[in-house]
Chain A
């Protein structure tokens, strides 16, 4: 089940009706949230729910045992147990074949064939998200920044809460567990606002992201040699807005759904292409991951406490691993390395600089945007040959276009969505939610029909593969 698939629109109202029935009984409410979260996940693959359960059991036990112990060595052993089990899951299911391929490159000259060691296990959806979520829980307890959750039920809901289970935002225990301990705040206003976010996310996904992919991006990336430099450039711009609308659309739906159930999830995007430098970009893009990497990786490596050279190394290493987090392939490693280098060069620049003259801000934004666009090329290509074909096509500087006016129109919508000031958008949202419910219902029904009509299938969200 995806947020953009028809079954979600049956799942959501049915689960909400029963949620309302059990709402006043804390244990039943938590049990219901857990049941629907596992159902949501198991509708994709029921077997892999056992991995979430395994991660939940280990980290719940480790968290409590670690908190109860004052022996630093014992605490460290417990932390290692948590890290090894979570990273072990990632290693087996996500990275095993990748490292095998790397090993094959090294073993090739020796005449060794490691192909027989390959496995064909399916990558569990959301594994990178929920393992990072549970690791942050044990790391926070290890650092004595968090009390463990005594209730296994509540901890299980924290790990598996369905709106953010498969593609984030990566929720911190310190933010979410307190919400589970009190009665969720479900009001008409919050339900309407949550629903608005759900439809906003669907609009971004179906009307912008999927159409950009279907109208041009996918075809052009599949055969870059058949297209002019202009088409290649606009496909790259298109992909930049496709991935933004796809992922931020998912986050909107996740945050909106959680809000309908009475919970708040962390903000994940803040108009990233308006960043004036790459540091600022990472403060606006996939915020829950970038802050996770900062707090648990960059700072653990020493952060900026050492020499400039050491700081540069820490930045590079953090972004390399951040790239690898996205996918077990060399292009993601290169994508991470590119961002690491950009961050090294951007060190010392100011985030959210509003003092500079307007033309300077525009120039910085354009430069940063294009540096990020280059990285999306690395992110999107399917092989090194694909990258070389695409790059050489871009540099050929050929004219002409096969893209339709509709493609450019959708790209324009993506740009407009991006540049609307947040205060303006918030004002519109507030006024919209104040409209009578029947008016909203008619518009939402029309939107559902429009989405069904514009849809070219129900493609998965890009970040599901991570």
Chain B
């Protein structure tokens, strides 16, 4: 047993790491982030309004949607909209009543058209993950309309696959983007542990992204990957139709259009590079343009309703807190665009 003393330096290293990690975890927890040791304070469900009853929001084990809790059974005359998206509609940084699916349900009520809006979204979700979710939950909460607002995570995943030379046929997963190792070896508990350490998260968003900015980045997602994106979307449409719902496609909005991308702020660029490691900013802008064009064509081919969100709000920097996440004003604007398209102009 005396031998263990010789290995004590390993314990000392672990101790130093714990001493660094714990205060960082506390700081992150207090700021509303998910932490390894203290978990997550939870979403901020709503902005308190004096004299108004507090509203109840998911996600919870019994209600997996990032939106206002609603009964499974619809009231007479009520319409159920299902919004499938990623962190754009599943914000952890804002009170949920400011997020566009919830704002949309409020607008429906304001316009006298009772509806339920389910936000079937989660941070990191890709289109295949959304298709899986609709397969699982659509029978319990059958929607009339499914609105697809997805692009960023699929682009990140496909860019990673195509530029690493991996097969694009790799079954897509629900894993967070930016984790290459998930594609080559099964994720294990230790990986999860290290990934969830606040120190690691901080380094990823403050150091790795700066390294990524120094890489030779690509100016376009290759055609093969774009085809896979459209195949994913087509598959989602088929799944939605199988469940008797009407799929509605949306184009994807960004803070800067291709012709404005040179003015994209450096801080936001670095933030994006914490997850996206293959495309340059012009590459992102061009890819979004190309995919939006293909979404428009797909909507025509499949005879689907299209809500051209990009046309209406792309390039309005004040509506975005980074390249593709909205500010509260942005959420309100998107909700308006959706409401006008779904319910007709007020």
Contact = CB atoms under 8 A, between A and B. Distances in A.
Interface residues of B, number: 43
Interface string A1-31: 0000111001011001101110100000000
B191 A222 contact: no
Contacts, number: 121
Interface string B207-221: 110011011101000
A453 B203 contact: yes
Contact of A215 (B5, B190, B215): B215
Given A407-B214, A449-B203, A454 B16 contact: no
Interface in B181-229: 181, 184-185, 188, 190-191, 193-194, 199-200, 203-204, 206-208, 211-212, 214-216, 218
B180 A457 contact: yes
A216 interface: yes
B216 A445 contact: no
B214 A456 contact: no
Given A6-B194, A460-B184, A20 B7 contact: yes
Given A17-B4, A186-B6, A456-B208, A6 B191 contact: yes
A445 B13 contact: yes
Interface stretch (A47-55, A322-330, A436-444): A436-444
B12 A441 contact: yes
A403 interface: yes
Contact of B181 (A186, A220, A449, A458): A458
Contacts of B17: 445, 448-449
B343 interface: no
B280 to A, nearest CB: 11
Contact of B163 (A16, A222, A440): A222
A105 interface: no
B208 A215 contact: no
Contacts of A13: 7, 10-11, 14
A203 to B, nearest CB: 15
Given A5-B191, A20-B1, A215-B214, A453 B208 contact: yes
Given A5-B181, A44-B185, 18 more contacts: A5-B191, A10-B190, A12-B10, A13-B14, A17-B7, A23-B3, A188-B6, A191-B6, A191-B9, A219-B216, A404-B216, A406-B214, A437-B12, A444-B16, A452-B194, A452-B200, A453-B208, A457-B181
Interface of B: 1, 3-17, 20, 163, 165, 179-181, 184-185, 188, 190-191, 193-194, 199-200, 203-204, 206-208, 211-212, 214-216, 218, 277
5 contacts: A16-B10, A19-B3, A441-B15, A449-B20, A458-B180
